[in-house]
Structure 1
Amino acid sequence: MTKTELKDFLDAKVEEYNNPKFIESDPIQIPHQFSKKEDIEIAGFLSATIAWGNRKSIINNANKMMNLLEQSPYDFVMNHQEADLQKLEHFVHRTFNGHDFATFIQGLQHIYKNHNGLEAVFSKHANTTGLQSAIHHFKSAFFEIQHLPRTQKHISDPLKNSAAKRINMYLRWMVRNDNTGVDFGLWKSISPSALSCPLDVHSGNVARKLDLLNRKQNDGKALKELDEALRRLDPSDPVKYDFALFGLGVFEGF
């Protein structure tokens, strides 16, 4: 396939999958239940945090999270008492447990009270070449609160060679405006051109078959390589190709 043919093929797949029907089977449906900016941000962040494993299980458990937060995530984050956190202790999604959940609520409160909110803490260190440094600084700010060391593993650090799939997916949701009602485009202070593809086993395998990626591991170095390839295809909106790679891998077994 020539570069032009590859771009045409992937652009067609983006159009096929980047539409409201995609929401029905994706964790992005959780923040779509809300209309207030802060509710969308928090619901999206928590849903993305547990987005590994079976997609049905992810969606079920993310809905459980929202029920435990009384369907008002921002209000719960800002106004919870110590006793309110106790009802979270039985939550579990794989290795993310109730203690982690309570710590994340406290971390989010800290971000909104002391760092002007999620958008501000990410945009402070964002630049035109990528958001890897911004993710690293966000993690540092998030864990300024008292926490168990084990809870830190639930936010990846790209500066430690992680592909940070879940947080890059979350940033796609918040930053990218696709005009189809899937991604939110809520955060105007960050350019979609700086986004990175949420690299996982599906998108990685498809990218290798299409010669967009040579590196075998799905790590930070592979993400950099894939980012560069996707930016050559569309410098202003490289992460739209996440829909093509994911759709080809998950729905078509490409």
Structure 2
Amino acid sequence: MNKIELKLFLDEKVVQYNTTQFIDTDPIQIPRHFSLKEDIEIAGFLVAIIAWGNRKSIINNGNRLLTIMGNSPYDFIMSYSEKQSDYLNGFVHRTFNEVDLSYFLKALQHIYLKHDGLESVFSKYSETRSLQSAIHHFKQLFFSLPHSARTQKHISDPLKNSAAKRINMFLRWMVRKDTTGVDFGIWNSISPAQLSCPLDVHSGNVARKLGLLHRKQNDAKAVQELDKALRTLDPVDPVKYDFALFGLGVFENF
């Protein structure tokens, strides 16, 4: 395919897969329980952090997180103290456990109390065409309180060559303006043009088969290469092609 044919093909796949019919099998359903901006942010962030492994397990544990927080994430975060840690007993998703969750709740509280919330932090450190440096600075701030060293592994750092798939997915949910009702688009201080594709094994393999990506590893350098290619197809909303790449990989075994 030439570039025009490739764009037409991928645009058609975006229309096919950027629809609400897939929400029932996607972790994005968890923050859809809410209408308050802060509830959406917090629920979205926490479920994105545990979004690896079996999708059914991710969704089940995402719903368990909502139950722990009394289905009111922002209120729970703002009043959380270690005296309430009994609520977290037994929570585990793969290697993310109750110790990690307790710190994440405290760190989120710190960000909302001292730094005006998640959007403000990412916006403060964003660059004109990228949020990868912002992810790095966000991680530094997030882990600025006393914590167990093991907990740091649950947020990736693009400046240490990680693809940071889960954080990029969360940012897509919050930033991208989506007329079909999938992504929330509730962060107005950041442009969809600054987003990076949440690169995983499915989207990476499809991107390579289509000639959009040549680097073999799914790392930060691959994200940069894919960003460049997708922005030639749509500089305003490049990450819409995440739907096409992921759909082709998961549902069509492209």
How big is the shift at 1:85?
A: 1.9
Name the SS for the 1:137 alignment partner.
Answer: helix
- Normalised by the length of structure 2, the TM-score is 0.99
- 1:241 correspondence with 2:241: yes
CA contact (8 A) 2:119 2:187 kept: yes
How big is the shift at 1:161?
A: 0.4
CA contact (8 A) 1:163 1:198 kept: yes
Name the SS for the 1:217 alignment partner.
Answer: coil
Amino acid in the other structure paired with 2:122: F
Q: Structure 2 matches for 1:96-115, cutoff 5 A?
A: 96-115=96-115
Q: Deviations over 1:153-182 (max 9, x none)?
A: 000000000000000000000000111110
CA contact (8 A) 2:80 2:106 kept: no
How big is the shift at 1:20?
A: 1.1
Structure 2: distance between partners of 1:116 and 1:87: 26
Structure 2: distance between partners of 1:15 and 1:175: 19
Q: Structure 2 matches for 1:193-208, cutoff 5 A?
A: 193-208=193-208
Identity of aligned residues (%): 70
Structure 2: distance between partners of 1:73 and 1:146: 22
How big is the shift at 1:127?
A: 1.7
How big is the shift at 1:89?
A: 2.9
How big is the shift at 1:86?
A: 2.3
Q: Deviations over 1:190-244 (max 9, x none)?
A: 0100000000000000000000000000000111000000000000000000000
Q: Which runs of 5+ in 2 are unaligned?
A: none
Which residue matches 1:182? 182
Name the SS for the 2:119 alignment partner.
Answer: helix
Amino acid in the other structure paired with 2:233: L
Structure 2: distance between partners of 1:246 and 1:55: 14
Q: Which runs of 5+ in 1 are unaligned?
A: none
Which residue matches 1:210? 210
How big is the shift at 1:19?
A: 1.2
Amino acid in the other structure paired with 2:44: G
Amino acid in the other structure paired with 2:183: D
Amino acid in the other structure paired with 2:180: T
CA contact (8 A) 1:168 1:197 kept: yes
Q: Deviations over 1:20-59 (max 9, x none)?
A: 1121110000001111000000000000000001111111
How big is the shift at 1:83?
A: 2.2
Which residue matches 2:41? 41
Structure 2: distance between partners of 1:6 and 1:24: 29
Which residue matches 2:253? 253
Name the SS for the 1:119 alignment partner.
Answer: helix
Which residue matches 2:57? 57
Q: Structure 2 matches for 1:145-156, cutoff 5 A?
A: 145-156=145-156
Structure 2: distance between partners of 1:109 and 1:8: 45
How big is the shift at 1:81?
A: 3.0
CA contact (8 A) 1:89 1:102 kept: no
Name the SS for the 1:87 alignment partner.
Answer: helix
CA contact (8 A) 1:168 1:195 kept: yes
Amino acid in the other structure paired with 2:24: E
Amino acid in the other structure paired with 1:237: D
Which residue matches 1:24? 24
Runs of 4+, deviation exceeding 3 Å = none
Which residue matches 1:226? 226
How big is the shift at 1:87?
A: 1.8
Structure 1: distance between partners of 2:81 and 2:45: 21
CA contact (8 A) 1:89 1:99 kept: no
Amino acid in the other structure paired with 1:41: E
